Amino acid sequence: MILSVERRTIAAGPRTLSCLATGPFPNERVVVFLHAFPLNAEMWLPQLQALPEGWSGIAPDFRGFGGSDPDAEDASRSHARLEDYADDIAALMDTLGASSAALCGCSMGGYAALAMLRRFPGRVNAFLLADTRATADSDAARASRAAMLDLLDREGPRSVAADMRLKLVGPTSQRDRPRVLAAIDGLMGSATATGIGFAIARMMNRPDATPELAAFHGSVCVVVGEEDTLTPPGEAASMAALAPGAPLVIIPRAGHLSNLEGPDAFNSAMHEWLAAVPEGAE
């Protein structure tokens, strides 16, 4: 059965967040879906529509993406941290009456999920980490992000979208899935320059999250596209090894956006992950 998903605008702390939601709220069994860079919550439609019975789902647009408020005009990129996103997620959960939640994050969304674990450890009861990493950026990665900030400031959001487009999907999708590429183009098209710039800074500034992930005792699942070159399967295997018993699911013929490129396989992994979350987990 395909579940109905609605767009909601929710006041969460000092800002308004635009979200996709399905299921009743409040609910003790909630999944928060956290999107990749530079997309928005719409990337999670195949998963929101396929949640198992009893679960509610919410997928927020991060600040400056989709329909969510951007960072304040007087804010500085140099002070931007992923914990800012965590504060928004926690405020959203408060508004919905969710004391804790399972977090499903892809790429930058995985970084935000791990920031939630640092900032609000008691509010996270399970993780699905897709096409992401727990380690901080290497020097080379930080240099690449700095170059992307320069590109953004010189040429605007469209230049960043063009630079990211073929990095986000594998060669199979590039060759055989024009609808996936069209969907990604649409998702990137709604990102603002402010949202992109602050997101890049937050990713650059993130710390190593491996100690927190290694100490986490809830249900963990790691998913990666077989053709992902940004966070390849070897990186995912290292992350899964931090959480004893965590399955490593490799989605065949998929790249960095494995939930869009291989939605059926991704949804199967999601269902198995949620089935392992105890009822009333805190």
Domains in the chain: ranges and CATH: 6-275 (3.40.50.1820)
Task: Give me the pLDDT at residue 159, please.
Answer: 96
222-253 tens-digit pLDDT: 999 999 999 999 999 999 999 988 999 999 99
Residues in the chain predicted with pLDDT less than 70, given as ranges, are 280-282
Q: Crossing angle for the helix pair 108-119 and 82-96, nearest 10 degrees?
A: 70
Task: Give me the pLDDT at residue 281, please.
Answer: 57
Task: Give me the pLDDT at residue 14, please.
Answer: 85
Task: Give me the pLDDT at residue 3, please.
Answer: 84
How many Å apart are CA 101 and CA 59, to the nearest integer?
12
Query: pTM value?
Result: 0.97
Strand pairing class (124-130; 56-60)? unpaired
How many Å apart are CA 235 and CA 134, to the nearest integer?
9
26-44 tens-digit pLDDT: 999 999 999 999 999 999 9
Pick the closest to residue 107 from 21, 39, 49, 59 (CA basis): 39
How many Å apart are CA 277 and CA 125, to the nearest integer?
8
How many Å apart are CA 96 and CA 218, to the nearest integer?
22
Task: Give me the pLDDT at residue 183, please.
Answer: 96
Joined together, the tokens standing for residue 148 give: 């992307």
- Kindly write down the DSSP assignment for every residue of 160-220, as one continuous string: HHHHHGGGSS-HHHHHH-HHHHHHHHHHHHT--HHHHHHHHHHHHHPPP-HHHHHH--SEE
Task: Give me the pLDDT at residue 244, please.
Answer: 86
Q: Are 191 and 38 in contact (CB under 8 A)?
A: yes
Pick the closest to residue 20 from 104, 87, 81 (CA basis): 104
Task: Give me the pLDDT at residue 94, please.
Answer: 95
